[in-house]
Amino acid sequence: MDQPQQSEETGGSTEPHGRARPPLRIGMVGYAFMGAAHSQGWRTAGHVFDLPLRPVLAAICGRDADAVRAAADRHGWASAETDWRALIARDDIDLVDICTPGDSHAEIALAALAAGKHVLCEKPLANTVEEASMMAAAAEEAHARGRLAMVGFNYRRLPATALARRMVAEGRLGTLRHVRVTYLQDWLADPQFPLTWRLRKEHAGSGALGDLGAHVVDLAQYLVGEPLAGVSALTETFVRERPLPVGATSGLAAVSSAGTGTVTVDDAALFTGRFPSGALASFEATRYATGRKNALRLELNGERGSLAFDLERLNELWFHDATEPSTHAGFRRILVTEPDHPYLDAWWPPGHGLGYEHTFVHQARDLVHAVAEGRRPEPSFADGLQVQRVLAAVEESAEKNSVYTPIAV
């Protein structure tokens, strides 16, 4: 569609750190919530961090010509496309960033990697283990050609969670016993909330499980440093029929005469798990926790200490050092805003906290470094596949109900 408005040399940005750096030309597919968040990340990273490559917002892609043009203007993209295949065919794009619903991740990522692009793909990596397996295999093959692929589990990029990972790796918690994670939202509590793509399996793969559960599974495995060995799960769909969104067509299938459609994904998922090193884990993902807006909470308990984190207070990490005398031991708040904390050397003076959007800036920063250094970025597509396997195991366990013992009345 539109041609780039700036040459790749200018790329729409000046040199914020005063030295010439080669461009990394981004083409992004999707422009809704995640598209806006990723745009913010790409736009900002090179102005805050001293990066080896200069991210250039070369092209944004979406099916609706007017809407994608408006998104390009709003978010600072130099050009717009209405067909992702045309975006991938462009030789002035180095990296394809996929911010679409899960049903298109595999097709776009496979095509982009085959075309020699680096790829960043939003979480969850795919809608099924089969798709994720193909993507991980393609990423492995592309790596041999110097092309890199990363999945967008952005909560690894919070200073507090990155610090937590560092402390676990340093042994500050000792042997881990418990991993307790919840991700609570409430935007579906209203039964009149319309049937969006997130509520249909063919588009989203699963419900709260894939959307929120994927984040906490990734985060737990990242913090512990090993993959889950097994799970036992319960899932539920509380509201099975919802009004169709205004203007919806049969794209959202199973339309009833009353103008409602069927929810085909879980509303909530509860599961327990076991890590190979022996720690027990519990997980909860729901969109029905009234009053909880984006409450990702975690606690790790180890023999030497504990860590606790709440995304609604994301500049804080709580640490209990169990090796201290019990007379004055207790959870203490670490305000994660010091220059020695992860990512913070480039930001504000101590105490001037960061927010949600910064995870996307950090994600862009880390990927730019990986590309410049030819180093595999994390989380890789193989990590994304592993999370997908956990999601599938949760669904299988919930469906079989095999380890769930009813209580006699």
CB of 101 to ligand SOE, least distance (A): 10
Site for ligand SOE in 25-44 (CB under 6 A): 33
Return the exposure string of 282-303: e unless at least 16 CB atoms fall within 10 Å of the residue's CB, then b. ebbbbbbbeebeebbbbbbbbe
State which residue has the least CB distance to ligand SOE. 211
Which residue number, 56 or 98, has a Cβ lying nearer to ligand SOE?
98
395 binds ligand SOE (CB under 6 A): no
Instruction: For the chain, state the CA radius of gyration.
Output: 22
Which residue number, 211 or 266, has a Cβ lying nearer to ligand SOE?
211
Which helix (DSSP H) or strand (DSSP E) does residue 262 occupy? strand 260-262
Site for ligand SOE in 236-255 (CB under 6 A): none
Interacting residue with ligand SOE among 185, 232, 306, 337 (CB under 6 A): 185
Number of residues that bind ligand SOE (CB under 6 A): 4
Question: What type of residue sits at position 382?
Answer: A
Which residue number, 185 or 380, has a Cβ lying nearer to ligand SOE?
185
Residues 6+ away with beta carbon under 8 Å from 278? 175, 176, 177
Interacting residue with ligand SOE among 103, 131, 211, 366 (CB under 6 A): 211
Which residue number, 156 or 320, has a Cβ lying nearer to ligand SOE?
156
CB of 121 to ligand SOE, least distance (A): 13
> Going by DSSP bridges, is the β-strand pair 295-302/305-310 parallel, antiparallel, or unpaired?
antiparallel
| Closest by CA position to 97, among listed 129, 75, 70, 130 | 75
Structure tokens belonging to residue 288:
């029905």
CB of 185 to ligand SOE, least distance (A): 6
Let me know: does 265 contact 199? Beta carbons within 8 Å: yes
Q: Cα separation of 330 and 321, whole Å?
A: 7
Could you list the residues that contact ligand SOE (CB under 6 A)?
Answer: 33, 185, 211, 294
